[in-house]
Amino acid sequence: MSQANREITISILKYDPQDKTVEPRFVDYKLEETPGMTLFIALNSIRSNQDADLSYDFVCRAGICGSCGMVVNGKPVLACRTLTSTYPEGVITLLPMPAFELIKDLSVNTGKWMDEMSKRVESWIVTNEETDISKVEAKVEPKVAEEVFELDRCIECGLCLASCATKLMRPNFVGAVGLNRVARFQMDPHDQRTDEDFYELIGDDDGVFGCMSLLGCEDHCPKNLPLQNKIAYMRRKMVSVK
């Protein structure tokens, strides 16, 4: 076969934690690779033609929603943005992302964790000012607005957590996504919280002081966010509090 239509093997860990009669197992699926095939396309083909019971997540198919995160040959990636041609050996192993509750096969509950994280770091504007919609909003310096909007590009895919050794060793670690969220509000001039207030949220080993700066989060972020820079920024802020 030519490179364009070679046969590839996709080995997937299948497991339903609610089915106590079946142990976790790898199942191999062989299919013909097509030009431009992504893992998302391959998984759709497998579910349509070989295994209708296969579970995985997707919504946008464009690297925007963050739903299709999984571990591919040991590396957390988004399936919709990963070409099967990236793996010249033609053997691709898929695992569900660690650090999250497993639903089934490749499907994990990132939404539950993100919701709990959002409440934990109080991910909203805190201010004593009353909002008057009849008036123009207070101006924000363009540079500050750009820095805040940059951090808002996080799609909460969970890849940073799946690649974080601290998170895997310390289940309560808030992770880069949580620390990024705190940095976003700390920089926002609309938020009236002090550094002391933020210290109460992340000033411990499950927060900003737990990060070991191994760069796994930034190396795997599909949006190339400056996660390590912002974690270092928040660490400096928090150290100055105590």
198: nearest Cα among 213, 186, 215, 210: 186
pLDDT digits (tens, 9 = 90+) for 152-196: 999 999 999 999 999 999 999 999 999 999 999 999 999 999 999
Domain 3-107, classified CATH 3.60.15.10, yes or no: no
Q: For the chain, give the mean pLDDT.
A: 94
- The boundaries of every CATH 1.10.1060.10 domain in the chain are 109-128+138-239
Any idea which fold 109-128+138-239 has? Fumarate Reductase Iron-sulfur Protein; Chain B, domain 2 (1.10.1060)
Instruction: Note the pLDDT of residue 4.
Output: 55
pTM of the model: 0.91
Instruction: Note the pLDDT of residue 130.
Output: 84
Beta-carbon contacts of 94 under 8 Å, excluding residues fewer than 6 positions away, are 10, 11, 12, 13, 39, 70, 71, 72, 106
Q: Residue 58 pLDDT > 60, yes or no?
A: yes
